[in-house]
Amino acid sequence: MSIGLSAGGLPSNFTVPVTSAAVAGSTGGADGSGAARCELPQPMTTIAEATKSARRKLHLWIMIFGRNPANRIATQHNGGNFSTRNGTASARPRIGSRSGCARLSLLIYKRLAITFSKIGGIMLAKCVKFAAVAVLACGFGPACSRAAARQVAGASQARNCDRACLDGFVNQFLDALVAHDPSRLPVTRYVKYTENGQHLELGDGFWRTAAGRGDYKLYIEDTEAGEVGFFGTMTEAGQSAPQPVILALRLRIYRNEISEAEAIVARGDMAANGAKSLDKLGTPDPIYLQDVPESQRVSRLDLIDTANKYFSGMQQDDGKGDYSFFADDCNRLENGMQTTNNPNARPARPGSYSASWGCKQQFASGLLHFVSRIRDRRYVVVDTERGNVLAFGFFDHEAGNTRTFQTPDGQTVTAGPVTPWTWEIAELFKVQGGQIHRVQAVLTQSPYGMISGWSSWQDAMSDKPQW
């Protein structure tokens, strides 16, 4: 069959023959373990001949694909249910999220264009065809899901970078941040950095204003994937004195270098007061550091499935859902403020919920209905040993007529932001026994409809989970 491509700068009328084997996907690992791996399809003879003379230059593509693990494919479940087969996600990967093969093809195309510009247009066209085949390999091979990519690219990394190693990269990053000197960091050639959803160069943004590190530090390690999350307090340059802020950070480590860095910096009065509260605590809730008994541990997808029920339950909540995923001891912190079971919270007023209520009670009230959509749900750090799941996403409040709704007891309520509003959020869940025991979030207001810089627009607008 032939497939027309328009992604990555390729002509829309350019077609590449693809064998059925290319679409079929993956093979088992070389070690006989059955671990999935992504392979290039066997190209047609004409393409093989066309690329033969350029074989010496193909290390560029290998370097781009291997050294830039930001170009990954996220998978999504279908209809709210996860399914697994032999421990690997069976959902079909999508081109797009986490940059995807469309961006990869564009990068390959540009690099090859530079390399072969002096050779001539014919050779360039041949190399473009090879790039297109590479895109098809990643776009149609089910083994190229993010879960499979972890098994392939992250296998050796997992062995080489344990919890202390991952935490060490975070500390290196924070020390370089305060020193305003990104050159201190070991980074891949194509390292990517975003801050509050904006793609920036390392050294820009918060790198120019960070003043110091605070006392509160919570590390979330994913040794299997080589990713680490961090919630902590910092200070930032102010008019007269440094101001407290809260930082959520995610790093991906690839071959002992940082390949991805994603930061949310929460500023303003709410974050400043919350940072002070966190610094008073000094240490995080110990439950996040406790191992789940081995007999009670579940798969990554099971942990994500439970955490995702929180977002699905809050989105347009009508108070009539099944909230049994909340444990009786569930508690939540948002920007350092206790927003459930808070004895000092004001009592509930008509048409509003109270921070004195528990997790389940808040959801069952139906008063969170004004949260219109929770989208771009990226489950980026999963620790199966401790049951910790870190997600990044966005909470949209559409305002307008969505502010008026009925609660389960028949009240007509008008609540929520009066203008369109988006929270960018990093949210951590402690999951054990199929229930959520703790929730902790770092959030900041962003322009309505903001996207993360890590997903395609379609995936960023979707409420389906990505992992």
Give residue 409's pLDDT: 81
Sign of CA dihedral 265, 270, 274, 277: positive
Determine how many CB atoms are found less than 10 A away from the CB of residue 254. 22
- State mean pLDDT over 350-368: 89
| Greater model confidence, 83 or 339 | 339
Least confident of 368-372, 424-428, 429-433: 368-372
Q: What is the pLDDT of residue 159?
A: 54
Distance CA 24, CA 136 (A): 11
d(CA 462, CA 121): 40
- pLDDT value, residue 432: 98
The confidence score (pLDDT) of residue 350 equals 75
Q: How far apart are CA 67 and CA 452, in angstroms?
A: 22
Structure tokens at 28: 């088992």
Q: Are strands 187-195 and 88-89 parallel, antiparallel or unpaired?
A: unpaired
Q: What structural domains does the chain harbor?
A: 2-153 (no CATH), 158-282 (3.10.450.50), 289-466 (3.10.450.50)
Q: Retrieve residue 323's tokens.
A: 């909230």
Note the pLDDT of residue 21: 39
Helix-strand-coil percent breakdown of the chain, rounded to 5? 35, 30, 35
Residue 425 has pLDDT above 80, yes or no: yes
Length of the chain: 467
What percentage of the chain exceeds 90 in pLDDT? 57
Alpha carbon distance 9, 142 (integer Å): 24
* pLDDT at 416 (0 to 100): 81
Q: Do residues 380 and 250 lie in contact, with contact meaning Cβ atoms separated by under 8 Å?
A: yes
- Spell out the SS3 assignment of 448-462: CCCCCCCCCHHHHCC
Please say if the pLDDT value at position 332 is more than 50: yes
Q: Is the pLDDT of residue 87 over 70?
A: no
Assign 407 a pLDDT band (cuts: 50, 70, 90): confident
pLDDT of 396 > 60? The answer is yes
* 2-27 confidence digits (pLDDT tens): 333 333 333 333 333 333 333 333 33
> What pLDDT does residue 224 have?
96
Residue of higher predicted confidence among 79 and 386: 386
> What pLDDT band is residue 410 in, cutting at 50, 70 and 90?
confident
Per-residue pLDDT at 170: 98
Average pLDDT over residues 246-257: 97
Give the whole-angstrom CA distance, residue 446 versus residue 392. 14
Closest CA to 140 of 235, 39, 281: 39
Give the contacts of 93 (CB within 8 A, at least 6 positions apart): 73, 74, 75, 139, 141, 142, 144, 145, 146
State the DSSP string of 230-272.
EEEEEEE--SSS-EEEEEEEEEEEETTEEEEEEEEEE-SHHHH
C-alpha dihedral (358, 233, 266, 305), degrees to nearest 10: -50
Q: What is the mean pLDDT of residues 142-150?
A: 44
Give the least confident one: 90-104, 109-123, 237-251.
Answer: 90-104
pLDDT-based confidence at residue 136 (cuts at 50, 70, 90): very low
464: nearest Cα among 370, 373, 372, 333 = 373
Looking at per-residue pLDDT, the higher value among 60 and 352 belongs to 352
Q: What is the mean pLDDT of the chain?
A: 77
Confidence at 108, pLDDT banded by 50, 70, 90: low
What is residue 433's predicted lDDT score, i.e. its pLDDT? 97
User: Average pLDDT, stretch 273-289?
Assistant: 96
The C-alpha R_g of the chain, in whole angstroms, comes to 23
Average pLDDT over residues 219-234: 98
- Split at pLDDT 50, 70, 90, the class of 110 is low
Residue 448 has pLDDT above 70, yes or no: yes
